[in-house]
Structure 1
Amino acid sequence: MLETFGFSHYESKVYETLAASESPMDATMIVKHSGVPKAKIYEVLTRLVDKGLVLDSVSDKKKWYTALPLNSLIDKLTSQFQHDVERLKTSLASKQVRDDRIWNLKVDSSIRAESKHLIQRAVKSIRISAWNDDFAGFIPLLEEKEREGVEVEALVVGEIQTNLKRVHVLIPSDEHEGLERFQLIVADQEEIMFAGEEDGNWQAIQTRAQPFVKFFADFFFHDVALARITQKHYDLLFGDEEIRRMLIRLRY
């Protein structure tokens, strides 16, 4: 019976013999009824005691043995199986190889669909930059993720209405003629998607390669800082011709 669960043939025979007996047995009795060789019986009994399948006791200068009740054995094996399954999951998860390839994706509808899936997969944090009309399509999903406890921070080009807690807004000036449409999503600091529009067509890259993830995460915070500083000190910065030209040459 126990061989199915990885126990030896002798261990199974000894346990079955003890479980079938209404009274405790000594080693001699177990040998007689189990068929396990006398030379092996104490070794087998010691293993079963150490594994918690057999109880032992000394009485009248003799050692007696009895089996762990069947219900208790079932609970033990079930618990051990569940524990082993969790260890297997942890072991396999820790050995998963990161996909560091850079994937190219085209077509607006495909990029938008994969962007939503990327947001849905996030469990810790989401950083997203986009123009307001593109960003509007993500608002319900982002607000849901924020309610779930995911940290969401956004940078939006143009006015936007949302209940998200951390939204930075950039209102481009008339001089930002070269500002092209773009979209950036950084999920859990583990995966990014960056998309841009060129000649009316959208193209995107998606990757988990950490050098790229770190670069684009820094890129996001650079843009947020630049937008906040410009917004707070707009008159001062754009009032200085040299600084104004420098800012216009930057992304924003």
Structure 2
Amino acid sequence: MLQNFGFTQYESQVYEVMSASDHALDAATVVKFSHVPKSKVYEVLQRLVEKGLILTSFHEKKKLYTALPIEMTIKKLTAEFEDHIEQLRNHKSEIPDADERVWTLKNNHSIHVLMENLIEKSAREILLTGWNDELAPFVDLLERKQAEGIHVELLSVGSIHTGELTPHILVPDEKHGGLERHKLLIIDGKEVLFAGMEADQFQGVHTFSKPLVKFFTEFFYHDVALLEITKKHHETLQQDDAITSILMKLRY
């Protein structure tokens, strides 16, 4: 009978036996009259206990079960049904914002304008890396955003005058073969613009894709961490030709 209320067949069979008995029953008796397999009955009984339809007690070290009276069960199920109706009435469904599209953009001027627009609209955090001459035009805007309480983290390839900002500075080594011009901007942990050189022109990608935003955020902090570690232990690392050779191949 409880199947009409979303309970399983076994739960319904056990409850019917329990409600038909004037006395508390042990599990063996429930198995005998409900025809629920012994291997399943304890699991079913426990589920009914958790749903509040069965009470438990112990007598002479034996666990006994008794059902909630039918009228009380009806009141319980009615109250729960009305709660579910109210929750459904007040629930507002929304399609999750999951824009996984990746947009491509060519032309350095267009990329610059988009970067400026993204920085301007940032509300929480700006992560930016690139070559010093490419970053310099954004310094005043970045300073203003930082003054507004936005967290700004900047990694510059080459020295750059940044006023109140405290950038991470990578001074390129002439042996540093992995360095290529690039720009990476991550806004509020949810939007990313990455641009690299192809055929002597910047080409960029812009996306809200969560996996890509996460990847590029880790990419940014990888560069920052590697830069700071290299600077702190420069002399030690330079004494190891193998490590130096590897470092000179990295993009950071």
Q: Return the TM-score normalized by structure 1.
A: 0.61
Q: Which residue of 2 aligns with 1:97?
A: 97
Residues 1:175 and 1:169: Cα distance change in structure 2 (over 3 Å)? same
CA contact (8 A) 1:152 1:164 kept: no
CA contact (8 A) 1:124 1:188 kept: yes
In 1: Cα distance, 2:224 partner to 2:165 partner:
15
In 1: Cα distance, 2:139 partner to 2:148 partner:
14
Secondary structure (helix, strand or coil) at the match of 2:98 reads coil
In 2: Cα distance, 1:93 partner to 1:186 partner:
29
CA contact (8 A) 1:130 1:155 kept: yes
Residues 1:102 and 1:119: Cα distance change in structure 2 (over 3 Å)? same
Secondary structure (helix, strand or coil) at the match of 1:249 reads coil
- C-alpha RMSD over aligned residues: 1.8
Residues 1:237 and 1:92: Cα distance change in structure 2 (over 3 Å)? farther
Q: How many residues align?
A: 162
Once the two structures are superposed, the pairs formed by residues 190-205 of structure 1 within 5 Å of their partners are 190-205=190-205
Residue ranges of structure 1 left out of the alignment (5+ in a row): 1-90
Residues 1:216 and 1:173: Cα distance change in structure 2 (over 3 Å)? same
Once the two structures are superposed, the pairs formed by residues 10-21 of structure 1 within 5 Å of their partners are none
What whole-Å deviation, never above 9, does each CA across 1:99-123 have from its counterpart, x for those lacking one? 2200000000000000111111110
In 1: Cα distance, 2:165 partner to 2:251 partner:
25
Secondary structure (helix, strand or coil) at the match of 1:174 reads coil
Aligned AA (2:107): V
CA contact (8 A) 1:99 1:208 kept: yes
In 2: Cα distance, 1:94 partner to 1:149 partner:
31
Q: Which residue of 2 aligns with 1:189?
A: 189
Moved more, 161-170 or 218-227: 161-170
In 2: Cα distance, 1:92 partner to 1:134 partner:
45
In 2: Cα distance, 1:196 partner to 1:133 partner:
15
Once the two structures are superposed, the pairs formed by residues 87-166 of structure 1 within 5 Å of their partners are 95=95, 97-166=97-166
Q: Which residue of 2 aligns with 1:31?
A: none
Q: Which residue of 2 aligns with 1:167?
A: 167
Residues 1:126 and 1:242: Cα distance change in structure 2 (over 3 Å)? same
In 1: Cα distance, 2:219 partner to 2:163 partner:
24
In 2: Cα distance, 1:228 partner to 1:93 partner:
46
Stretches (4+) displaced over 4 A: 91-96
In 2: Cα distance, 1:95 partner to 1:147 partner:
35
Residue ranges of structure 2 left out of the alignment (5+ in a row): 1-90
Percent of aligned positions with the same letter in both sequences?
Answer: 42
Residues 1:239 and 1:92: Cα distance change in structure 2 (over 3 Å)? farther
In 1: Cα distance, 2:243 partner to 2:185 partner:
29
The CA deviation at 1:95 is 4.7
